[in-house]
């Protein structure tokens, strides 16, 4: 009878241990996943077409190709886009210059 109790106790202990390990593993995986998505930005890879035109392959955050743009089109859009500083400067009221007497 004592042997059965010991066996049951050992089985319970082993079950708890494996459950703890599994929980720890899934928590670690989830933390790793969130870390990865935070760190990566979308990037452009430079390629060339068969005609020799420069292309940008835009990737999503997962690293897969999202869009392939010509350099000309991508550059034009970059020039049209304004930085935060430019937007703030445009929004700030312009003070009138002091009049010279």
d(CA 34, CA 81): 29
pLDDT in tens, the chain (101 residues): 677 777 777 777 777 777 777 777 777 777 776 665 555 566 678 899 999 999 998 888 787 888 888 989 988 988 898 888 888 888 887 766 676 65
Q: How far is CA 44 from CA 36, 40, 58, 61, 84, in A?
A: 18, 12, 5, 11, 21
Question: In the chain, what are the domain boundaries?
Answer: 41-80
Q: What's the predicted TM-score (pTM) here?
A: 0.39
Q: What is the pLDDT of residue 41?
A: 62
Q: Taken in order 85, 91, 92, 94, is the CA torsion positive or negative?
A: positive
């Amino acid at each position: 009878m004592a042997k059965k109790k010991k066996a049951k106790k050992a089985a319970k202990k082993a079950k708890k241990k494996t459950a703890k390990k599994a929980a720890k593993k899934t928590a670690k995986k989830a933390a790793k996943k969130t870390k990865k998505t935070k760190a990566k930005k979308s990037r452009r890879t430079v390629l060339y077409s068969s005609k020799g035109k420069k292309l940008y392959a835009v990737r999503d955050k997962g690293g897969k190709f999202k869009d392939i743009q010509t350099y000309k089109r991508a550059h034009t859009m970059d020039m049209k886009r304004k930085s935060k500083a430019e937007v703030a400067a445009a929004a700030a009221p312009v003070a009138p210059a002091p009049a010279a007497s």
